[in-house]
Amino acid sequence: MVENDMPSVRLLVADPADPHVARVEARGSFDRGSCHQLTAAVEQALSTGRHTLVIVVRHIIDLDAATIRALLTCRELALTGGGSLRVVNDSGIVARLLDLSDTRRLLCPPDPTASIPAESAAADNLGRPVVALRPRTGEGR
């Protein structure tokens, strides 16, 4: 393993954007021998009383199924404590493995503080989403 590949986890107890959120930044290569670092960081964050956790995976360059399992364990720890966990900034190998393992919906839920675009928020008087239909054009009408 090259020095840049060495896994590392950095815990920011107070996220600069929101002091109620703990942010965990992971980098390098993670496998079954090193993924425990993620779980340990989440346990440490939860012990500070912060239950909203964000795991930043932008700088992970390689991971395996054991690491995905560790992320699911981290999510379970947060949920058990009445909190939440979101994995953010996934791309490359991380995004592919989240998709292949069908865990994206669990680990990467939408940010609850993000604003909703106006066109997505349209609803009728019963609160049902409004879908705009366009008339068909061309053959087959």
The pair of three-digit structure tokens given for residue 6, joined into one six-digit string: 């060495």
Lowest mean pLDDT among 8-12, 49-53, 109-113: 109-113
* pLDDT surpassing 90 at residue 137: no
Residue at 127 is within a domain:
no
**Is residue 68 a part of any domain in this protein?**
yes
Q: What's the CATH number where 74 sits?
A: 3.30.750.24
Residue 126 lies in a domain: no
Task: Decide if 136 is inside a domain.
Answer: no
With respect to residue 140, please indicate whether it lies within any of the assigned structural domains: no
pLDDT at 77 over 80: yes
| Confidence label for 11 from pLDDT (cuts 50, 70 and 90) | confident
What is the count of structural domains for the chain? Answer: 1
CB 130 within 8 A of CB 123: yes
pTM of the model: 0.75
Residue 134 covered by a domain:
no
Q: In terms of residue numbers, what domain contains 88?
A: 3-112
Residue 89 lies in a domain: yes
Any idea of the CA torsion for 22, 28, 31, 36, to the nearest 10 degrees?
-30
